[in-house]
Amino acid sequence: MAACSVVRRLVGCPRWHGGQLMRQQVRRVVSTQEPEILKHQILAETTVSRDHLTPELALHLITPACHLWRAPPHLSPFPDPFWAFYWPGGQAVSRFILDNPAVVKGKTVLDFGCGCGASGLAAKSAGAKRVTFNDIDEVAMEALQLNAGVNKILVDDMTTTNLVGSAGSPHQVVLAGDLLYDSKFAGEVLTWLQQLNRSGSLVLIGDPGRFALESHPLKASLQCLAKYELAATTLLENSGHPQAFVWTFS
Ligand SMILES: C[S@@+](CC[C@H](N)C(=O)[O-])C[C@H]1O[C@@H](n2cnc3c(N)ncnc32)[C@H](O)[C@@H]1O
């Protein structure tokens, strides 16, 4: 893998973890492109993959078969395509839902930081009443719609509003796949998720054992619901994390 490829910039570069991502967490990522052009670019730069923990779902992703996998970031038409990867934490949450559909069946669900949208799509296929897909990146919303289309799943609701810290949640289940990658942001997210849990939402957190969660005091308030071994391709993107876990507040 090239030293500064798109994939390395997103998942493998230590500087990234406290730099660009920190800014992205609070600001909406607005695209100047028309939705139709974005969709066209996503289709051109990704491939449909089932090489992950939930092969039931086909997803438009950047894989080793795509030129952006090795391309330097300045050649990418997308600033930081987090949505083009299916992160270990999201994979674990989705697998858990598909194996335990009763957790979401007939319920309202929020897929917070949905990226490619796989966990929310898993919830819809498992019979959720209504899923709200939330990501501050507008391009993620286009990717999610393409992923919904390829799986013939209807998208009920989408929002790019930063919901972190907002009071209460109308959702019965809140999914948080791989949002705990930066210590400061993880603190804000965990505090907010705990509040949502206290106000009645079931919170499902997916994480591969990242330092930001492991070192946070609220980790002691979580119980593990499931543990999964990650696929080889996912390991290429996330060296050092061979497994992913699903946590909820105890
Ligand atoms: C590591 S990716 C995980 C994506 C997906 N949940 C998965 O597991 O594949 C984190 C995602 O959270 C989004 N994000 C970051 N800060 C956010 C915020 N404050 N509100 C909503 N989404 C946010 C990013 O744009 C990115 O798509």
pLDDT tens digits, residue range 152-188?
999 989 999 999 999 877 899 999 999 998 999 999 9
Return the SS3 of 135. coil
The Cα 207–Cα 59 span in angstroms is 20
Q: Is 185 in the pocket of ligand 1 (CB under 6 A)?
A: no
Question: Ligand 1 centre from 137 Cα, in Å?
Answer: 8
CA of 146 to the centre of ligand 1 (A): 17
Task: Dig out the tokens for 182 from the structure.
Answer: 């930066």
Any ligand 1 atom below 6 A from CB of 120: no
Q: How far is the CA of 205 from the centre of ligand 1 (A)?
A: 12
Mean pLDDT of 42-48: 96
Backbone φ and ψ of 223, nearest 5° = -120, 145
Residue 143, ligand 1, Cβ within 6 A? no
Q: Which two tokens stand for residue 154?
A: 């209807």
pLDDT of residue 27: 55
Rounded to 5 degrees, what are φ and ψ at 196?
A: -60, -40
Pick the more confident residue, 10 or 224: 224
Residue 53 has pLDDT above 60, yes or no: yes
Which residue lies with its CA nearest to atom 7 of ligand 1? 90
Above pLDDT 70, what percent of the chain?
A: 89
| Distance (Å, whole) CA 29 – CA 32 | 10
CB 141 within 8 A of CB 157: no
Ligand 1 within 6 A of 182 CB?
Answer: no
> Any residues with CB less than 8 A from the CB of 54 and at least 6 apart, and which?
91, 94, 95, 98, 118, 122
**Domain boundaries, given as residue ranges, for the chain:** 1-250
Q: Are 85 and 237 in contact (CB under 8 A)?
A: yes
The answer, yes or no, to whether residue 56 has pLDDT greater than 80, is: yes
Q: 1-250: which CATH topology?
A: Rossmann fold (3.40.50)
Output the residue whose Cα is nearest ligand 1's atom 25. 137
Kindly give the number of the ligand 1 atom that is closest to the alpha carbon of 118.
9
C-alpha to C-alpha distance for 107 and 231, rounded to whole angstroms: 30
Total residues belonging to the chain: 250
Query: Any idea of the CA torsion for 226, 194, 156, 63, to the nearest 10 degrees?
Result: -50
Percent of the chain scoring above 90 in pLDDT: 74
pLDDT at 12 over 70: no
Q: What is the CA radius of gyration of the chain?
A: 17
Average pLDDT value for the chain: 89
CA-based max dimension of the chain: 46
Q: Are 25 and 180 contacting, i.e. CB atoms less than 8 angstroms apart?
A: no
